[in-house]
Amino acid sequence: MKDPGAATMPNLARVLELRPRNLLSMESRPAWLAAVIQDVPRRFLDREWMYVPVLADGTLHPAVVRWAASNMTETSARGYAYDVAVYFRFLGERGLAWPHVDRNVVDEFLVARREVVGPTTLKRTITPLLALHDRAVDMRFIAFNPIPRGEINATKGRKQSAAISYPHASIMRWRQEGVLGLGSAREETMMMRERNLAYVDLLYQTGMRRLEGHGLFYFEVPSRPLRGEVLVGRIPGALSKGRPEVGRLVYLDGSHRKTIQDYFVGAREVDIAFGKKSGIYENDPEALIVKKVNTRDGIPNTVLVSRGSADAPGKWRKLDLIDLRERIHMYEIDEADGKRRPLLAWLGDGGKPLDIRRWNRIFREASARTERSDGTGKIDVHPHTLRHCFAMQLYIAAAMRNEQRRRHVSESDLTRIVNEMNAWKHVKDRLGHSNVETTMSHYLAPLQAMEYAQILARRDDAPSTITRTVTDEDNWAMVTSIDEAMRNIAQVDDRVIDA
């Protein structure tokens, strides 16, 4: 068997078919084979087969060998190995080493590969590349996985970014150009834009889920002063994930309450007037009348409800146990004219409670309006995106607060904060997660994906193969603001986009 290390062809990327049991019985092994056997766990060497991609320069990389040994079936191992070999050949033709590639190079490979294979094969190619680079990260050969996660655009051969966060400046541009922007193609009235802006601000400033923000009564929106300009409210358990009897507190900066209050006293009142005039409230056969609201520590927690008429006997009910299906039929009586008024915060055409599905279209249309004439600059936001942005920004802010340094936090400072988990727990509590693992794995995934230890740890702990983009002292030695931190994250993880 020829020693792969002796290869001289610069683009000799291929698959080496090994029979581990036969290799173990060899009396005189070449150096490269001895390294392979030493690096692979013994249980893998008992197999009849093993397929290892050889690098473009003809060598075997330890991370590649370990990855190849972890493939569980012979069919997938063979197919994955050949997919990776094609990738290595592409890099070799450009004089690139796979541990040092960035997202741009990966995109070039996907586009080139799409020219010769179909979308199904292209999607299959991503699986082994992701697994290989994850293995290399685990072994500390590379700092982060450059293979973007997301759906393949079968036409263009590019990964469709699964972006989950944007810096604050990008969200503000989306808010101004998308939600408030004017244009002849706009279907919404100015009143609708006022409502949409209020809902966007509520989700973005509190981290609420779409249903949590949508299903609130107007008096449940955070309004009780807590400290300074901070307002506190409570999301009922029936609108939150988890046990229906358990809600959670949410906080809102008083300066951001203005857009919500403007909607409540402006456009919402106009919509209610239309609803009263049309009779849709009085003709609701499932109407539930709220006669009184009780609070605990200044936050609503129970309501006295009667069915059909304010004169009917009432029953006290916990807000935690009233779900959206009932909430859309709940009213209060207007003392001025004795007519019903809806309690839900967000109203649609003619004063009807807005259908929750309408928000998806509103956000989609707002995102489309941010795209420039040349097809660039689009900021793709959906309701849950705002929750992810809130989580990312809250984590960074909590780190800065814990260090009592609003402007500068060193790498070692942030590393210690991550290890102590205090900032993670702060975000977990605000998002209403029962387990901190959910917060870390899903909402702050871009931070984990880059390996906190690689970006925020001391320089002498970082592996030598980290690219200059990641280890550049000017970029990563100090986090100076929340937006700057998120822009730095966006450089190495396409789930955070600086648009």
Decide if pLDDT at 265 tops 90: yes
Identify the pLDDT of residue 429: 67
Average pLDDT over residues 307-324: 92
pLDDT grade for 347, boundaries at 50, 70 and 90: very high
pLDDT at 141 (0 to 100) = 81
Report the alpha-carbon distance of residue 65 to residue 43 in Å, rounded: 14
Pick from 313-327, 385-399, 416-430 the range whose average pLDDT is largest: 313-327
Higher pLDDT, 441 or 354: 354
Residue 296 reports pLDDT greater than 80: yes
pLDDT at 20: 54
pLDDT in tens, 179-238: 987 543 455 566 678 999 999 999 999 889 999 999 999 999 999 887 777 888 999 999
Q: Provide mean pLDDT across the span 357-371.
A: 91
> Which two structure tokens, joined as six digits, stand for 83?
């997919």
Strand partners, 304: 292, 316
Higher local confidence (pLDDT), 293 or 226: 293
Mean per-residue pLDDT over the chain, rounded: 75
Question: What's the confidence (pLDDT) of residue 123?
Answer: 79
- Which pLDDT score, from 0 to 100, does residue 169 have? 87
Q: How confident is the model at residue 29 (pLDDT cuts 50, 70, 90)?
A: low
* Mean local confidence (pLDDT), 73-92: 83
Between 339 and 102, the higher pLDDT residue: 339
The confidence band for 362, taking pLDDT boundaries of 50, 70 and 90, is: very high
* CA angle, 136 then 139 then 141, to 5°: 60
Over residues 87-115, mean pLDDT:
84
pLDDT band at 435 (very low <50, low <70, confident <90, very high): low
Q: At what angle do helices 358-368 and 383-403 cross, to 10 degrees?
A: 80
Angle among Cα 463, 467, 472 to the nearest 5 degrees reads 95
Please say if the pLDDT value at position 350 is more than 50: yes
Mean pLDDT for 131-144 is 82
Q: How confident is the model at residue 45, as a pLDDT?
A: 55
Residue 101: predicted pLDDT: 81
- Distance from C-alpha of 400 to C-alpha of 364, rounded to nearest angstrom: 33
The alpha carbon of 371 is separated from its chain's Cα centroid by a whole number of angstroms, namely 21
- Whole-number Cα distances in Å, 495 to 102, 157, 329, 487: 15, 18, 39, 11
pLDDT over 50 at 14, yes or no: yes
Mean of the pLDDT values across residues 287-304?
94
The residue-averaged pLDDT of 59-70 equals 78
**For the chain, what are the domain ranges?**
4-161, 182-361, 383-492
Q: What is the reported pLDDT for 389?
A: 86
**CATH number given to 4-161:** 1.10.150.130
The region of weakest confidence among 13-22, 177-186, 448-457 is: 448-457
pLDDT of residue 49: 61
Whether residue 332 is predicted with pLDDT greater than 90 in this model: the reply is yes
Mean pLDDT check: name the lowest of 134-148, 243-257, 389-403.
389-403
Least reliable range by pLDDT among 78-92, 333-347, 472-486: 472-486
Indicate if the pLDDT at residue 264 is higher than 60.
yes
In percent, the amount of the chain with pLDDT more than 70 equals 62
